[in-house]
Each structure stands twice: as C-alpha cells, then as structure tokens.
Amino acid sequence: MNNPPFHDPEHGQQGSFLRPESETLSEKLLDGLRTSVIFFNTEGVVLRTNASAREDLHANEELTGRRLSELLTLACRNENILPGMLARFEDGLTEEVELPRDTFMRTTDGNAQFFVVGGITRLGDDEFIMSFRNTVDELTQEYMLKMALSSTKIFPWFYDMARQTMVIDPRYFDYTGIVSPDCTMSLEQFADRIHPEDREAMFNAFDMQLHGSHYPYPVPFRLRRGDDRYEWFEGQSTYLGQVEGIPYRVVGICMSTQAHKDIEDSLRAARDKAEQSDRLKSAFLSNMSHEIRTPLNAIVGFSNLLAGAESDLNTGDAREYAALISKNCDHLLLLVSDILDLSRIETDTMEYNFAAYSLGQILTDLYEDQMTAVPEGVDFNLLLPPCDVMIETDIVRLRQVVGNLLGNAFKFTSRGHVDLGYTLDRESWTVRLFVEDTGRGIPADQYGKIFERFYKVDSFVQGAGLGLSICKILSERLGGRIDVCSQVAQGSRFTLALPLLRQGKHPISNILNHE
C-alpha cells in the first residue's frame, strides 16, 4: 500500500501528525458535513475522507492510501461506471461529472451498499473529490409514498410563490385529462376549472393559507375535467414555514371524492326507494281495504236482498240486483288481476309473446268489445287512418293497456265523446295510438304523478290507482311510451307511441293498404 502524504504511522490517523491549525479546522469542517466526501489523486488513490463517507462505507480500516477502484464500485444498469467516470477527466478539461440517477454504490468488501446521488469534481491538477449522499431512506420514502398514492386518487401539489403557479402531481393531469406539458397551472387556470358555485369557498380557504392563517379543513369542489365533465374533489392544504408572516410554501393534496359521492347518491336513492316502498305499502293497504270492501259490501248486500226477499222482488229488480252483483264482481276481478300483474312485473316474470298483427283490427276488436261499457250520453268513436299497418307486438298486453285507457276515459267522462284511434308517423315508423275524452281532465301538475302506483287525483273515485302505473311499464316493455295531455273540465288525451317493429325489418312492408 502506498503511503499517503499525510499518513501518521504512529496513530494510523490521517493528518494528525504535525498538522497545522488550518488542517485541523478543515478536517473539522469536512467531518461536520452531512455529505460524504472522498478526496483522491490522478492515480485514483484516496487522499482523505470525511466522517460521513467513512460511516456510509462502514470503513473499519484506514481508507486513505487505498485505490478508489479497489474500495468501491458504482453500479448503474448492471455496469460499474466508476472507471468510465474517472477516464472522462483524462482530457484535462472536464471539471465535473455527475452520478447518473439510480447509481448504486457498493464497497468491494461487501460491507455497504446503497443508492447515491452526487458526482466527481476536479479540485486542482492532481486532486479530485467525490461527493455523495446515501439516498436509500429518501428513495424508500419516495417509493412508499408513490406506492400509496398510486392506488388512490390523491394528488399532491404545491404553490410556487415566486412563479405564482400551482405545481401538481403529473398523475393528476393523466387522471383528469387536463393538458399541461409542465404539470403546472396558474391560479386563473385552476379557478376556471372549478365549478362557479364552489369557487368562492375554495379560494377563500386558499387565500387564508396564502396569508399565513392556517386552514386545515377539507374543501369540497367540482372540477371541470379535460372532457368538460364535472367531478367532485376535495382539497386540503397547509404551509411550510413562514417568512415575515407569509408562508414560505403552500402544499396540499386534492382528492377525487366522486366514488364516495356516487355511493352516497346510490345509498340516498336506496333510502328514498325504501321510504317510498313504505309509503306505497301504506297506500296499498288503505286503498285495497277500501277497494275490496266497497264491491264486497255491494255483492253481499244485493245477494242478501235476492236471497231474503224473493217473494217481494219483481223480475226487473232481480235483474238489476244481479247486474250490480256482476258489476262489482268484475271490479274485484279487475283489482285482483291488477295486483297479480303488478307482482309479475315486480318479479319480472311476466311473459311477452311478440307477433305481427293488423293494428286496425286490434283497435276495431277493442272498440266492439268496449261498446257495452260506454256511459250514457257519451259517443264512442273509432278513428282509423285510411291505410292500416302491421305491428309487431304482444297483443294481450297491448289490449290490456288500451283497454285500461278506455276504462279510465269512460270512468271520468259523463258527456261528449271518447275517441279511439291511431296515427302513423312515417318518418320515425312509429304509430301513436290515442284515447281521447271530453271528461273531467287532469291538472297539469299531476301528469307525472298519475303514472305512479296507487296515485289517484280524486281519492273518492273508485279505483286502486294501479291501472296507469301498469300501463306505463307495459308500454315500455312493448318498446313504446305513454304520455298524457289534458285540460281540467275539457278532457284528456292519452297517447301510446309504439314502434312498428321490434327489430330492424324494412318498415315499408308494414303498410297494408296504400292510399
């Protein structure tokens, strides 16, 4: 081993032999450094090290006088880059060579190995210094933070006071689709992306932070993403240090809370649905008890009359009682069948059989069947267009929907007319069946409600309030949609829009009789 210039053979300590004052001072200074330094000469022989370097390299023995290349390797992408770095100084011009990122320092005795940042600098003609810092702890923290953040939608940011710019985690831009090549946003750009209703609260909090009043609470806001959709976020910030009452730097996170909001919304919807079900159950029980009891009372009453007072009854009365019993039985049957239908709709067990039918024929049959139900003083008209069409539908369900609409029209109309018919919209290949009456009408604010279960505009009128809700669902299952237009005391028009075909066959074949 070469003896170095300052070797003290007695103590085996670098520079302690007849060292001048300045030498002691510089050594103290070096040992006080947090950065590790190794001085070496052109031959790569170590001249001096500081305490931090000896600690990092776990040096149990003297390093001075040993060759740097025998002492350690610098691995980068599986290659020892130390010889190459030293060779770059051979031109006599290179002043400094930086260690590439992710350089791994390993002592040849295997005692120490760690990631480093640093470099080699020329100090004079024959002297160089390698300075480095063990970054294992930093990297560990960085990777841990990265790993933790990568599985979240939390994005760190800081506010660069000098440039008045927000510097945000690049993941934020990937996630939101907002474009910023250098991952920064001015406050104006950021404000522009915040929903106008949330801007004030957001900037009040930020302003407090900027002026050194700590505001530790999360601030919810909606952010306009790159695709212009708003997404819920929550921002939180704090500041580092203060210089004359002004924070040195404001740092924070913003976190997407959209998933929580969505869960909140679905839970709220589920709660509302449960509450509605509860209300519906009560409405169902009260409606049913009334709707069942009324016809049952009539049936029992008139049956008793028929059975008990046989001798006093003339045939006309008997017929009238029998007709009333039959009418109330029909009510009960209709009620039971509505309830069964509703239950089948709820459990999705209702079957639909689609086939092609002449729409004109379906409506003509219905018209004839319903003739007996037309109230006195009301005209019942069938208004068919000159050409008929074939429609692919479930005839039982279509008859049920139109039958229900006619039943309501007759129930609520005591004079004028009830019209049944359809029009054809050739552009959209849709037919619009209509049932129009000149009855009592429906207030406009009730249009939506009458399609809800158990809803009746007038609770004194007979009916369980189920008919239209069933009609609405059945129409949708038939691929159509039901609408109402009405005026109080003038009448109502219910329209059922249905596609001619379920699948994309050529609609022209549906027209039966061209004009």
List interacting residues with ligand ADP (CB under 6 A): 408-409, 412, 437, 439-442, 450, 455-458, 461, 463-469, 492
The phi, psi pair for 3, rounded to 5°, reads -80, 125
Residue among 185 and 442 whose Cβ is closer to ligand ADP:
442
Residue number closest to ligand ADP, CB atom: 463
> 255, 176 in Cβ contact below 8 A?
no
Q: How far apart are CA 223 and CA 255, in angstroms?
A: 11
Residue among 135 and 469 whose Cβ is closer to ligand ADP:
469
List alpha helices for 46-195, DSSP H. Answer: 51-56, 68-71, 82-87, 136-150, 170-176, 187-193
State in angstroms the smallest separation of the CB of 227 from ligand ADP: 42
State in angstroms the smallest separation of the CB of 456 from ligand ADP: 3
The phi, psi pair for 147, rounded to 5°, reads -65, -45
CA separation, residue 420 to residues 105, 150, 383, 417 (Å): 91, 64, 6, 10
State in angstroms the smallest separation of the CB of 452 from ligand ADP: 8
Residue among 206 and 454 whose Cβ is closer to ligand ADP:
454
Residue among 398 and 409 whose Cβ is closer to ligand ADP:
409
Residue among 254 and 342 whose Cβ is closer to ligand ADP:
342
Residue among 239 and 412 whose Cβ is closer to ligand ADP:
412
State in angstroms the smallest separation of the CB of 398 from ligand ADP: 16
State in angstroms the smallest separation of the CB of 365 from ligand ADP: 21
State in angstroms the smallest separation of the CB of 272 from ligand ADP: 21
Amino acid at 55: E
* Largest Cα–Cα separation, the chain: 148
The pair of three-digit structure tokens given for residue 82, joined into one six-digit string = 């130390």
- Write down the residue that tokens 């019993």 correspond to: 325
State in angstroms the smallest separation of the CB of 373 from ligand ADP: 13
State in angstroms the smallest separation of the CB of 221 from ligand ADP: 44
State in angstroms the smallest separation of the CB of 472 from ligand ADP: 9
Secondary structure percentages of the chain, helix, strand, coil, to 5: 40, 30, 30
Q: How far apart are CA 32 and CA 13, in angstroms?
A: 18
Residue among 263 and 488 whose Cβ is closer to ligand ADP:
488
Residue among 480 and 491 whose Cβ is closer to ligand ADP:
491
Q: How far apart are CA 375 and CA 130, in angstroms?
A: 107
DSSP string over 394-461: -HHHHHHHHHHHHHHHHHH-SSEEEEEEEEEETTTTEEEEEEEE-SS---GGGTTGGGSTT--SSTTS
Residue among 97 and 433 whose Cβ is closer to ligand ADP:
433
State in angstroms the smallest separation of the CB of 320 from ligand ADP: 25
- Torsion sign across C-alpha atoms 58, 60, 62, 68: negative
DSSP string over 477-514: HTT-EEEEEEETTTEEEEEEEEES-SS---GGGGB-S-
- Torsion sign across C-alpha atoms 299, 305, 311, 316: negative
Residues 6+ apart with CB under 8 A from 287: 454, 464, 465
Q: How far apart are CA 206 and CA 212, in angstroms?
A: 10
State in angstroms the smallest separation of the CB of 418 from ligand ADP: 9
